[in-house]
Structure 1
Amino acid sequence: MQRLARSRRELLATGAVASAVAGCALPREDASPAGRGELTFEGVSASFAERARTVADRVTDLSGNAIAEETTVRLIDPAEMRERGRNWTVIGATTTQRLAHRALGLVESLEADVGFEFAGAYYPGSRTLLLVGDEDDIDDQLLAHELCHAVQFQSTTLADLDRSWAAGFDTQAARQALVEGTAQYLEDEYVGGCGGDFSNCHLSTPGPIALDRLDPALLLAYGAYCNGHDFAAALAEREGWRSIWAAHENPPTSTGQILRPEWYPDREPVDVAAPDEPPAPWSRLDTERLGMQSVFLALWHAGVLPVVAAYPRGQSAEDEVFSDLVRYRSPVSDAWRGDAFTAFERADGRFGWRWRIRWASPSAAETGYEHFRERTDARGEPTDESEVWTRDDRYEALTLDDEALVVASAPDPEAFELFSPAFR
């Protein structure tokens, strides 16, 4: 099954989310009209086809790149959209990735998954762009976003890189932010052009959204849109679209680079070792890096980071699409330097996990500890054991280890010492 690339605009209107992820991309040098691919259409009027071609020309003018292959544009109804989106997963492909979502407080059940609705989807394998609804429902902003995805997949080597959950929890999120953020930035540029350089634009007014209105399971995926936009905008400040296309050739590896673009491309997360294999009846599953974005959401979603504690965007006349959204950043999460989330399974089928987070300094680790302690206090009840809480027939524990904070969960407190020497 092909991975999709979808529009944020519908996400803002409905609370839906895309699960497309980006890959390594190399820009084509030939973006001249002679090198462009043709748009073909199924079941649309001549006027809509002409409008779509005009948008495609403007996308090329803005980005300096163009679709390279014949691309089919087709309208579908909401029923077909829902059927296509039925089997997509949002909370991960492995038990460890699903446990990570639960550890972050974003889902309760490992069986829970969230379907999505989308306004547009690009299928790279068949080079088909699907748009949902009637012609009047589809504005130029959505067309620009989805046509940008076609450019990304056709005029770069984006499709050659693993864009699934197998890329890793944090790396997958970073790659998704690259592909969605590029389309978001193009979308923003397009709307700006309609205020000046473009005539006869067909636009609608996007509705605002607050993060607390989204299903929590969608918050990580949603970050690709708002945070990815900021990443692309920061790259554009270097050498314009040349820098954005160069990032497709050398994609970011962590959400730390997305959220702090000054880290890209040279600064990588520090390595954090996985714990040893525990004795029976426990067995170790996988280890994942969850990333800076996950640290923010673990705290923000628990109410530990009020809006005033995060870095707001503020209003900007030059940022017409993304002027009033909260970035996934705060002073405490900005001090993240690396992490390792390891899942464990007991012979009776119950699970545990250990999340070791490295911070910029021992003092930053203490600040992280204070915030996670407030989070744990809000989520559970203290026990007679120091730094151990109980919640829903499970136990959670915290401990500091120099520049690292260790957060763990298990069916009983005795398991903590098996998960990490820091609890001994």
Structure 2
Amino acid sequence: MRRALLVALAVVLAGCTVPTFGGSDHPESPTGGDAIGYENGYWYDDPVSVTTGDGLNESEREAVVARTMARVEQIRDREFEQSVPVSVVSRAEYRNRSGSSGSGSSRPQDPWNDQVWEALLLIGEDSGSSEEIGNTLSTTVQGYYSPSRDEIVVVSPTETPQIDRRTLSHELVHALQDQQFGLNGSAETQDTQLSRQGVTEGEANYVRVLYERRCGDQWACIALPDRTSESSGDGDSGSQEPSYNEGLFTVLYQPYVTGPRFVDQVRADGGWDAVDALHDDFPDSTEQVLHPERYPDEKPVNVSVPDRSTDEWSRFDHDPVGDTVGEASIYATVYHNGQTDGDRYSYESEASEGWAGDLVVPYRDGSGGYGYVWQTRWDTEEDAREFGQAYRAALTEEHDARQPRENVYVVPEGDQFSDAFRVVRSGRTVRIVNGPGVGDLNDIHRAEG
């Protein structure tokens, strides 16, 4: 799976040649041939003499990868079972490999998933979810580990192919996870996928941060590439900000921001053994990742949506029938649509706090029309009221929706979310019904009463 790693670090090391201060007092090789903190001839604190400004040749790359593996072992207190091949590609080559040239035109449409993202008011009808996800990843991904091929690919941040030590250490943690625990599990919903990544990506970013803290004072580290000259892959020098869907990115980025905090709390409570145990008992929701004190006891409630559609509308032949988006994605909706202040990456807002469960069920008719029913459940009536108010305000304030009658909103043509919406709160439940026009709302989900 592609790995997005865009955390900007405050420490930037100048120069191109790795310093050779310090020195190892370890034996040339460990007794028995291997040990934690030793890989392929290098101890974790051994110096390496390489020049990074012009890229790394094969022997230099082998040395840097071996020492970085040893350092990941030293921090994580886990042993690599085998070496990990590492290759470096340009941004343009990564886009070609991932099937996205920047337009996303080669990606198949996914109308079921489109409705899920439309419910979140993050990806509109003017572009499909597959296209937007592909474009966002092709712009932001810095490297990835492939479990199926047991290899790491680093996307060079400069015209000259270079390895960013932060990306390398992050991806090596994924390789270590795969060797020790396996990374081939699947998640049924968007929320459970993000919560699992809160462990895998959270641990990888957490180790990366611990690694960086040792650079300079304890360890000699290769210099960081100058990202200000990062190529966009089409000949541009990178003088302009890359274009991607920021609301979508807020969702995709959540595991990298809140995951390390979650892993840090688990480690503080039970050490690395407790972090190991997470791989057998992943969080059940992003709520637990955002609020570590709720792991593992506060489980999400099971939300079901009765089918109240007419014969003209039907659910997709899709398993599962609906998707759970979770607290992190709802936060992205609230923030991206101007309903909370503060830092985008805090993942905390009154309108998303108190989530208990949800289900988005997409619908379609026989003439190419689409809609959905999104039912959310909240811890308290006040939590439900706050979310309902925020969603209504997003429709009216951000998308100029008019309100022809109570609880019904119509976003005008020309807006990417041009549709009709019915937003109803009942106790701790908020149900949102969407369709092409007001007359379709009752056909998709007949109003109660």
Asked if Structure 1 and Structure 2 have the same fold, meaning a TM-score greater than 0.5 normalized by the shorter chain, the answer is yes
Aligned to 2:284: 253
Question: Partner amino acid for 1:177?
Answer: G
Secondary structure of 1:331's aligned partner? coil
Give the Å deviation of 1:101: 1.0
TM-score, normalised to structure 1, is 0.79
Give the Å deviation of 1:197: 2.8
Give the Å deviation of 1:419: 4.1
Deviations along 1:278-315, one digit per CA (max 9) or x if unpaired, are 221010233111100121111111101111xxxx5xxx
For residues 205 and 228 of structure 1, the distance between their equivalents in structure 2, rounded to whole angstroms, comes to 27
Deviates more, 1:274-283 or 1:134-143: 134-143
Deviations along 1:207-239, one digit per CA (max 9) or x if unpaired, are 8xx9x9853333221222112222222222212
Give the Å deviation of 1:415: 3.2
Which residue of 75, 82, 88 maps to 2:95? 82
Give the Å deviation of 1:59: 0.5
Q: Within the alignment, does 1:122 sit opposite 2:145 as a pair?
A: yes
Question: Partner amino acid for 2:111?
Answer: T
Which residue of 74, 94, 97 maps to 2:113? 97
CA RMSD of aligned residues (A): 3.3
Question: Partner amino acid for 2:270?
Answer: E
Secondary structure of 2:340's aligned partner? coil
Listed as ranges, the gaps of 5+ residues in structure 2 are 11-33, 42-55, 229-240
Deviations along 1:133-186, one digit per CA (max 9) or x if unpaired, are 378732322221111111111121222x126xxx22211122223221111111
Aligned to 1:188: 209
Which residue of 173, 190, 214 maps to 1:169? 190
Give the Å deviation of 1:202: 3.2
Question: Partner amino acid for 1:122?
Answer: Y
For residues 93 and 256 of structure 1, the distance between their equivalents in structure 2, rounded to whole angstroms, comes to 30
Secondary structure of 1:334's aligned partner? coil
Aligned to 1:24: none
Residues 7, 362 of structure 1: CA spacing in aligned structure 2 closer, same or farther, 3 A cutoff? closer
Secondary structure of 2:371's aligned partner? strand
Structure (1 or 2) with the greater helix fraction: 1
Give the Å deviation of 1:395: 0.8
Question: Partner amino acid for 1:274?
Answer: V
Aligned to 1:382: 402
Aligned to 1:284: 315
Listed as ranges, the gaps of 5+ residues in structure 1 are 13-31, 313-324
Aligned to 1:364: 383
Q: Within the alignment, does 1:132 sit opposite 2:160 as a pair?
A: no
CA contact (8 A) 1:37 1:71 kept: no
Aligned to 2:69: 56
For residues 7 and 335 of structure 2, the distance between their equivalents in structure 1, rounded to whole angstroms, comes to 23
CA contact (8 A) 1:7 1:146 kept: no
CA contact (8 A) 2:334 2:390 kept: yes
Residues 410, 55 of structure 1: CA spacing in aligned structure 2 closer, same or farther, 3 A cutoff? same
Deviations along 1:313-347, one digit per CA (max 9) or x if unpaired, are xxxxxxxxxxxx72212133111111111111112
Identity percentage of aligned residues:
23
TM-score, normalised to structure 2, is 0.75
Aligned to 1:69: 82
Bigger radius of gyration among the two = 2
Q: Within the alignment, does 1:237 sit opposite 2:258 as a pair?
A: no
For residues 77 and 365 of structure 1, the distance between their equivalents in structure 2, rounded to whole angstroms, comes to 46
Question: Partner amino acid for 2:194?
Answer: A
Name the structure, 1 or 2, with higher relative contact order (CA <8 Å, separation 6+): 1
Residues 201, 76 of structure 1: CA spacing in aligned structure 2 closer, same or farther, 3 A cutoff? closer
Q: How does 1:335-374 map to 2 (within 5 A)?
A: 335-374=354-393
